[in-house]
Structure 1
Amino acid sequence: MTMAAAASASAAVPQGSPQVPEEAFVDLDKPDFKTFWNAFVWRFLNRNPARPTIAINWQFVLPTGGLSTDPQHIILLESFKTVVWGMLTNDAYGKKLKVGTLGSISGGIREAFRWFVWNGIKDFSQLTPAVQERYHNVLAQLILKREEVYPDFVAEGYGFGYHSPSLRSVLEEDLEEEDEAKVDDQAEDDGFTYSQVANRINIIYYIYAQRVLLQKRKLPALSRAPFKGRSGGEVTSGIVAHAINRIPALPQAVSIPMLAEVFRWVDEVGPEIRRAHFAFQNSKDGGRRAVMSAFAKLDAAGFSSERLAALPWRERNEGRIEGAEDPLAFGYHRMRLAVLMLRDACVLAVQYLAGLRISEVCSAKVLKDKVNGLPSCVYKMQSPDGMMDLYFLKGVLTKGQAEPKANDWVIGCAPYRSKELPVIVRALNLLHDVVTPFLDDDKEAPLFVHFKNRWGMPASADSVHQATGTDLQRGCRRFIRCFVDLSTLPDFDRHGNSLVRYRRTRGQCIRTHQGRKTFADFCLKTRKTALHALSLHFGHLTDSITYRGYYEPVQRLHDDVEMFGHSATVDFFVSRSEGKVVFGTMAAAVNDFLKEFKLEGIKDPAELRDKVTDIVITHDLRIYFNDNGNCLISMAPLKSRCQAAAGGPSWMHTRPNEKTRTVSMCGGCDCLALGREHLPFYETRAAAWKEAAQDRANRVAVRSYEQSRKIVRILKAPAYDASQPC
């Protein structure tokens, strides 16, 4: 059936009659227009596992009354359908749009369709420059105060469920993980985004791009370039500036209690839920008493009736559960909630401890039987140096790929042959055990599942399906709302991050992508040389994508300052390899360093500097230069006296502790290296302590004076002994 025939059939069929299908799937490769063209909802298969299907709904309410599918709007409806079809199947716009963009497209279509009908515009040929300018001028009001344009009109979904006013500004921004078609119908209280305006402006450009296809279907078209030839970016910028508002990493005051709760679930609550679920699955044929006994095991996991009653309202029994007065029916609900919340804890573990996208989490598939004691989507390999067991998760990468691509992600490590499993592996192992009853014996199935029925437990595997990104996003927010107490957070943390929105929304402002940002923030702040490894882990094309998108601007400014320190570090090792002498307890380590990397034999200054620079950056070496000496703590952090005084040295503590550090302490520290540039400091110090040191009972003065004199004497010697301790 051709598109022309589809148009004739569409005009002949009264919209809303019984023969019009409610929804239909669309095959872009082999379209059969007869099967889907008149359907109220077009559904497309999507390659993103987090959103396996994308829908565009052609039936929506209008501010004039009635529906978009009413017969008097048939030309407008057919024209918009044709534009969408053309944008997906031809490159008249310069490129074909992907199915994933249909959410934002449908939001723009609904806005334009409603405004056109409200202003008596029946087809695209009536979109004169004056009409376009009026549409442009009213967009801000349509987004912020729609009721002022359309009195007493409320669009679908407004104020319902997860699109309630308290959450709508959060979900509006979360287009990667929420249903864009529903979200876009919500107005924000405090402004609008660039994308909201662009989605509405771009529709006019799509209409113009598909003018040839519209004319082939004998539908009125827009023949002149929209908005007097200005680009879409210029037109959109006339309403709102294009500001990049990057999703921030989660503040430590929020992420630490959240992850502490996730760990508790993986190691304490989860095993109890697993036992209760096994007992439930084994008791279904044993009668009411056996099933009730299985439900009783949930009490140990914290899902007693009393505990459930204390959860926020969406999880409580308030007459919303059919048969809630029956303990058996309520037990089914308790089991369902416990299993789904265990799944959500595992999602948080994977996202915050491995940085996977929600689509990559959804892509994990498993067999019913484990492989070498692990879910089939997990395997381990020995590290190249033979010291560690590395654990990998198998999934599918879709971001930036023309077609889905199988990919493996590192999710943890443990010492070689250790019996201890990384927390993510423990979580996935636990989740696999819980979903095993829903798996077939001989084929892979999703590891992260959702239940089709709203209440109770699935009666069979047919009642279980792959969780979407929205399912997991909502589940994670529910988990945080129920088990992570953010009510006592202050307005700001010690780093100056505002915590108000996390406290006020009880964590409902947290988005799934923040797990990825938090993971990247931890990796790059811990070790900046992890940038390339992180870029490979994330599947980015270049390191610069990771650096710009996942490294906070404030941290970049901090790095600019740090670069001076690294540059001075390079200068130090270059000068030492060229023959400059240093002494102190660190002198021997410096000599060993030069020998290990064979720097002393390099005669070419440029080659020497390049070699030293590469070593300093690769090993993240940093010398802290002070008037009283150079601190090489990053080369020997366990020997630091100031960190020992602060509570204990560690390989994580590679900076001197300024609160406990003193000149005398540094003088006897194994991290200190001295050169002639420090002579003025110790001459001044010796002179300052000389008079007080005359009193031999003043041990501090005596020790400081004698230490300073010794250093001065060594530094003034014609050829001082670099092996001399301070």
Structure 2
Amino acid sequence: MSRWDDKTWVFDGKAIGAPVNTVTCIWDFDLPDGTTLFADQHSQLLHEARHFLWSLFSNRRNGRAFKASNAGRIFEGLRRLLKWMVEHNYACFGELNNRASERFCDWIVELYASPSRTNHADVDDVSNLHVSGETDPRESSHLSQAITGEIPGVHDEAKEEDLGATTSNGSPATRSESDPEFEEIPGLTSGTLFNSLSTWRYLWEQRLELTSVGVTSLQAQPFSGRSIYKLSLDLVSRVSKQIPALPDEIAISLMNAAHQFIETTSEDLIQAVEGVSLIRSRNLAAGARPLAMHAEVSRFLQQPKLSTPTNSAKPWPELFGLKEISSVQELRVLVDTLVDACTLIIQAETGMRLGEICALPSGWDEQTGLPLCVSRRPSKSGMLDLYFVKSKLVKNRPMPVEEEWLLAAAPRGTAALPDAVRAVIVVQKLLAPFRDLAQPETRKFLLVTLAVPRSFPTSSAGITEPSSVLIRLGQKQFAKSFVDWAKVALNEQTRPYVESLGECIRTHQWRKTYAQYVFQVDKRMLPAIARQFKHLSLAVTEGAYVGTSASLVSSVAEFNRNLTTDFFLANIRGTASKQEGRLAKVMAKYQPEMAKIIDGLADREARQAIDAWCRDRDMKIFFHGYGKCIPSIAPTEAECHKRAQTVHWANRSPNFTWREQSICTGCFLFLADQDNIENWSRRYVENATTWLEAQSQGRANEFRVAKARADQARTYLINLGAPVPTVEIANAR
């Protein structure tokens, strides 16, 4: 039984089977100033914290008293607040106010976004957890963490009855309302931050109870009264925008290590996996004893051609530092590592989200000699072979839709395949024997999870769908084991990665690394990056990916000004491509008047004049996949602001929450041109297909919206001078 003055409180009432840390509160933790709460200068803070925590279980003023099983979770949030208070010189709860709560939010964002803080002991991000005692992936594979049970420290806030949250219209809150395209961070959810923010709410709710025992609590409602759940969503969005790209030295070291591992091991490991699978299939069909089957597998793997990789004089264990383990365990470790290397290359060289990589379909196209998810076609110039990878896009879509991402490019007719294409091929071949064992719903994925640690599955029960958790942990393990950190240049940017042996790497960083690399190579590629990332708005790419680098912010602004200048100059001179939309008609109407701005000027002077005209009026183009808008032309006419009831003469950007294709097309400030033909063509095909299928089933009246959208897209394509795709449905009326 714990006493009030004990350094550790253990509450009675631990749930059966639950770990003891769910009911344990350890007060003797380290503080940023090198002391603990038991130091004299923190005695008041310790006194107040104890009374506050106990009040939540003894006399909670708002809602039911918490159960003992909540103690560990609540204490975790309190511990984080206490550490922050000491670091920022707050001596007691009475000193906390609304401004302090906002500072706490800023600190939380920095804690999760900064690589130098990512490995902070107080960060409970799933992607940074280190299971106690895990020193070797062969002894306690990160695979088993991803497959079995919950990882310690991850909380399902939705299970708490009093933690439900809804949006303003009563529907469940699922993402930040202020940023409809916010990028989800793998391993970081609103629930991760909810616990820390809730401590402030509890302090406010318990203020009267604390006053009754002589403790002064918050004097004003924290966070300006905002919903804790919505605030946690907004903070995740802020973290997303502030997480930096990987430093060049880190990205290059990781990619070089992955390429080298694939080159060194892939052919031998594919051969070994195929051989082991054949032996197992033959023995299982013959009803052989397990020991006999294992012995045959071991003899097969110990052959000289398999025990030592091609082009190497060293055997696998010596080459990769494997411990004394069985040949089957050795093969399993190498297979997992090869998959990790391949997924790293795919993500690094496409910028795809983890969910999109998990959704890659399996299969082989005998005609092209490529995986079914990979296609090849010539570039517009005919100089390059472009390789595209097909997957499912879920982000900002009500249902998953099939999309393409540029995977790689090579000079036309080159026989050797690009490395990113080879990575996909390796995964397709390496995991093929296991896909054949899987259930049909699992078999369709390129990546499958082998849910049997330290060995290989022999039935469908041991094969599950792809796991984004596994990919994250795998990339960290690969970085730790195969990057020569001693050779990485040490500076302010690389230090956190080197000192943590890659533990602070976030898979989300690959998207920013990809975006900033492409933009630095050619600033005109910003729209192409937005298309690759499937962003509905160029503003998202600009603000959350390229614009996160301080050195590139001015380049982004300059690039946008140049695009805006080019747009007006082309319209004034009559050299613009065909355009459609209400803004196109306005531009045509005022073209003679605007031509006076550059009348009699040479090209350079004309550009300077238009650039100055745009700067004076704060003209800026906002790009969408389906068109463009310039709110500065007539701020009060923006249809998105009208719908949101946010009309104001000072608006210089769209209302991103309300902006979508059906609203924009009726806006005074919108137009589409040749850059948007692909989007309108796809919109036509999708809606025309839906309409024809409904018509063939006698349900045409239910899908009149699809018919209207198809007709609109067809009109746009015709007016833009683009061909209208042919859509045919079997048995259509």
Given the two structures, how large is their TM-score scaled by the length of structure 1?
A: 0.49
Greater gyration radius: 1
Structure with more contact order per residue of length (Cα contacts < 8 Å, sep ≥ 6):
2
Q: TM-score, normalised by structure 2?
A: 0.48
